Amino acid sequence: MLEKPPVIKPYRWHLGSIAWILHRITGLLLVFYLLLHIWVTHHVTEGPEGFNKVMSVVQQPIFLLLEIGLLVTVLYHAFNGLRIIIVEFADNGAGAHKTLFGIMMAIAGILFLVGGIPMFMHFLHVLNK
> Whose Cβ is closer to ligand HEM: residue 72's or residue 82's?
82
> Whose Cβ is closer to ligand HEM: residue 55's or residue 78's?
78
102 residue type, one letter = G
In angstroms, rounded to a whole number, what is the distance separating the alpha carbons of residues 69 and 82?
A: 20
Does the footprint of ligand HEM cover residue 35 (CB under 6 A)? no
Does the footprint of ligand HEM cover residue 86 (CB under 6 A)? no
In angstroms, rounded to a whole number, what is the distance separating the alpha carbons of residues 96 and 78?
A: 18
Three-state DSSP state, 92? coil
Does the footprint of ligand HEM cover residue 93 (CB under 6 A)? no
Contact between residue 101 and residue 83 where contact means Cβ atoms under 8 Å apart: yes
Does the footprint of ligand HEM cover residue 116 (CB under 6 A)? no
Q: Which residues form the interface with ligand HEM (CB under 6 A)?
A: 23-24, 27-28, 30-31, 34, 77-78, 81-82, 84-85
